[in-house]
Every structure is written in structure tokens, then in C-alpha cells.
Structure 1
Amino acid sequence: MLKVNDLHAFYGKSHVLRGVNMEIMPGEVIALLGRNGVGRSTTAKAIMGEIAPRGEIIFKGEVISGLESHRIAHLGLGYVPESRDIFPAMTVRQNLILGIKNMKAPGKYSVDDMLDMFPNLRARADNPAGVLSGGEKQMLTMCRTLMGDPELIIIDEPTEGLAPKIVQQIGDMIAEIAKTGVSILLVEQKLSIALRIADRVYVMGHGEIVYGGTPDEFKARDDIKKEWLEV
């Protein structure tokens, strides 16, 4: 579904991504692990066209490297950034409606489906989104992305800064999304969430992939954890 070959990216003169290679199959959940600052979020932004990539990015057999972000989204690639961007003056319901890609051909999720998934959002459906808590804003950004009916969704640090109870809810939601057949690239720090959900994991270090394997294989690699994940 998604294949990344020799991906490089720069911030000014800073060479952040140094030949990233990865592949995501249809219906697969991939966890992208690594310390802060190694290039995980930059990888997500490069795939989505938010920063200029060098290398080859192929989605559903089509080269998308260098395409504008809105064109990539319309091809079926969703993105939930770590910034939890919402439209604060608009209601929760209006934010969800904005996520619909084609009003004439609704996707598999409706606004009511999203509100049923998160009762917290239903209780605030007609309130301005700006009054939501951090966890509720994260729920809203994920639900709004799903309204666009993506075939693959990139979720960047969804549990960062959230209370344990909300972290569990977010993890459960991602697991439910995976059950519908949507492929997921999950950028996540919390190993408990990532390893519970993922089919495979990649570990990133110094702007490149340094390890790939199943969660069970990864759990046995104390050397990888020590060198690339422990602080």
C-alpha cells in the first residue's frame, strides 16, 4: 500500500532524514518507534507532502513524492498531526463535517458513528471545539480524519501529554480503526500502546530505520531497546 525508498528530508541545511526505507501492506498497523528528534514526525510530514522529500514515496502503486498535501489526502492517505489542529470557533459537529472528502459519496463513517465512538464528543457535539480538553481534541482530530474515509492513516504521537485513562481510550480507538481494514502508521513513544496494536515495528535512529520486526521479535531485542530507545 505504501512504500518509501531512500527518503531524505532537510530543514534548511540540516539533513534530518538520511535514506529512510519502509513498507506498509494493506490492513497492516506499523509502529514507528524512536527517541525524540530522530526524524519520526519528519517522516510523516515528508510522506504527506508537508516538507519537500527527496527519494521515492509510492502509495497504491502511484508515486506521490512531491505532490501537494491536499492531493495526497484525496488519494486516500489520512494524517493526524501531533499538533491536534482543530477549528476552535466551530462546533465539534462542524469540525467532523469538514473532514468529509466527498459530500455526494459519504465514506464508511458518519458523524453519528464518530460521536458514538466517543461519548465525550457527543456530549459536546454542539459546543465550540476550542473548549475541549487535550484528550478530547485528539479524539476529534482522529475522528475528523476518519470522516475522509482514508485507506491509510498516519497518526503522530496521539497519546503525548494525555492522562492514562485517555491514553487507554486512544489506544482502543486505534485498535478499532485497524479492525475496519484501514492501514495505520503510528508514531508513538509509549511501547505498551504501540506493541499492543502493531503488526510490525520499525525503530528509527539518526534519521534512518535501524531495526524492523514483529512486536514479539522486538521484545527479545534488549540491545535495540538499549541503544535506540532508552534515555
Structure 2
Amino acid sequence: MLKVRDLEVYYGLIKAVKNINFTVEKGQIVSLIGSNGAGKTSTLQSIVNDVKRKGRIYFDGHNISKLPTHKVIQSGISLVPEGRRVFINLTIDENLRMGAFNNDEKFESLREHMYELFPRLKQKRAQLAGTMSGGEQQMLAIARALMSSPKLLMLDEPSLGLAPKIIGEVFDIITKLKEEGITILLVEQNAYAALDISDYAYVLENGEIALEDKASKLISSDEIRKKYLGA
């Protein structure tokens, strides 16, 4: 579904991502794990053409490398950014409306499905997003991204700053989305939680892919356990 080839990302003269290649197959959860500054967020931003980059990106057999961000979203890719970035002065309902900016004809049915997935949001649909807890904002950020009916959902650090119980809920939702047929590319510092639900994973170090394998193999790797799982 997604093929990234010879990707480089630049911030001024600094090369944050260095000639990486990876693939996300349809129906999979694929994780990018690694320490802070490894290039994970830059990689996601490059896919939606939000940073200066070189390389080729193919989605559903089409080269989307030169498409502007809104066209990438329309092609079927959606990003839940790090830090959630919900519209704090808008209600839950209004945030969902913003997520459906290119999918307005399906707004009503999609919104109801989001409220089935996230019943907590339905209870507070008229509440301003800025008054919600971090966990609720994360759920809203995911729901807003789903309002564009993506084929590929990219999540950047969805567990960041959340309580353990809420992290469990968020990862349960990610697993459920896969069951609904959505392909997922996940960036996550909680390497154990990411590998536990993933089919395949890539380990980024200093902007390069240091290791890749089936998630079930990486989670039992001594090297991964020492570096990223605290074992």
C-alpha cells in the first residue's frame, strides 16, 4: 500500500532522515520505533509533504511524492500528529466537522460511527476540546483523522502523556481499527506496546533504519529489549 524509497528529510543543513526505505502492506499495523531524535516524526511528516524532503513515496500504486498536503489527504492518508493538536476553542462535534472537510457528504454517518468507537466523546459532544482530558483529546484527534475515511492512518506518539489505563484504551482502539480494514503506520516511544499490536516494525537510529523484522521477533530480541523495552 505504502512504499517509501530513498527518503531524506532536511531541516536547513541538517539531515534528519538519511536515505531510508520501508513498506507498509495493506491491512497491517507497522511501527517505527526508536529514541527521541531518531527521525520518526520527520518520516511521517514527509509522507504528507509537510517538511523539506527528497525521495519517492508511492501510495496505492501511485507516486504521490509531489502532491501538496491536502491532495495527499484526499488520496486516502491521514495523520494524527504528536501532541494531538485538536482545535481547543471548538466543540467535539465541530472538531469532527473539520476532519471531514473533504468528506462532507458522509459527515453524519461518519460522526455516528466515531461516537460508536468513542462513546466518551458522544457524551461530551458539545464540550470545548480544550477543556477535555489528555486521553479524551487523543481520542478526539484519532476520530477527527478518521473523518476523512483514510485507507492509511498514521499515528504519531498516541500514548504520549497519557495514564496507563488510557494508553490501554487507545491501543485497543488501534487494534479495532485494523480489524475494520484500516492500515496503520504507528510511531511510538512505548516500544513494547507498539510491538505488541504490530505485524512488522522498523527501528530508527540517527535517521537511519538500523533493524527491521516481524514485530513478534523484535519483541523477543535481546538487543531490542535492552535498548527500548527496559529489560
Q: For the superposition of Structure 1 and Structure 2, which TM-score range results when normalised by the shorter chain?
A: over 0.9
1:126 is aligned to 2:126: yes
Residue 167 of structure 1 deviates from its aligned partner by 0.4
Distance 1:224 1:130 in 2: 37
1:63 is aligned to 2:68: no
**Contiguous gaps of at least 5 residues in structure 2:** none
When residues 174 and 228 of structure 1 are mapped into structure 2, their CA distance, relative to the original with a 3 A threshold, is closer
Kindly provide the CA deviation profile for residues 27-50 of structure 1, in whole angstroms up to 9, marking residues without a partner as x: 111011101111000000111111
1:102 is aligned to 2:103: yes
Distance 2:132 2:20 in 1: 36
Matched letter for residue 43 of structure 2: T
- Secondary structure at the counterpart of residue 110 of structure 1: helix
- Secondary structure at the counterpart of residue 115 of structure 1: helix
Distance 1:27 1:200 in 2: 11
Q: Give the corresponding residue for 2:51.
A: 51
Distance 1:225 1:86 in 2: 34
Distance 1:109 1:138 in 2: 21
Residue 228 of structure 1 deviates from its aligned partner by 6.9
Kindly provide the CA deviation profile for residues 116-137 of structure 1, in whole angstroms up to 9, marking residues without a partner as x: 2222211210111111111111
1:148 is aligned to 2:155: no
Q: Give the corresponding residue for 2:10.
A: 10
Kindly provide the CA deviation profile for residues 89-121 of structure 1, in whole angstroms up to 9, marking residues without a partner as x: 2110111122123223x2896212212222221
When residues 210 and 97 of structure 1 are mapped into structure 2, their CA distance, relative to the original with a 3 A threshold, is same
TM-score relative to the length of structure 2: 0.94
Distance 1:38 1:109 in 2: 39
Q: How does 1:1-231 map to 2 (within 5 A)?
A: 1-100=1-100, 101-104=102-105, 106=106, 110-226=110-226
Residue 183 of structure 1 deviates from its aligned partner by 0.6
Distance 2:156 2:138 in 1: 10
Residue 67 of structure 1 deviates from its aligned partner by 2.0
- Secondary structure at the counterpart of residue 97 of structure 1: helix
Distance 2:224 2:130 in 1: 41
**Contiguous gaps of at least 5 residues in structure 1:** none
Kindly provide the CA deviation profile for residues 37-88 of structure 1, in whole angstroms up to 9, marking residues without a partner as x: 1100000011111102201111111111132111100000010000211112
Aligned structure 1 segments of 4 or more residues deviating by more than 3 angstroms: 224-231
When residues 227 and 94 of structure 1 are mapped into structure 2, their CA distance, relative to the original with a 3 A threshold, is closer
Distance 1:67 1:55 in 2: 13
When residues 225 and 192 of structure 1 are mapped into structure 2, their CA distance, relative to the original with a 3 A threshold, is closer
When residues 89 and 209 of structure 1 are mapped into structure 2, their CA distance, relative to the original with a 3 A threshold, is same
Matched letter for residue 85 of structure 2: D
CA RMSD of aligned residues (A): 1.8
Residue 172 of structure 1 deviates from its aligned partner by 0.5
Distance 1:220 1:150 in 2: 32
TM-score relative to the length of structure 1: 0.94
Matched letter for residue 177 of structure 1: L
How many residue pairs get aligned? The number is 230
- The 8 Å contact of residues 7 and 18 in structure 2, kept in 1 or not, is answered as yes
Matched letter for residue 200 of structure 1: Y
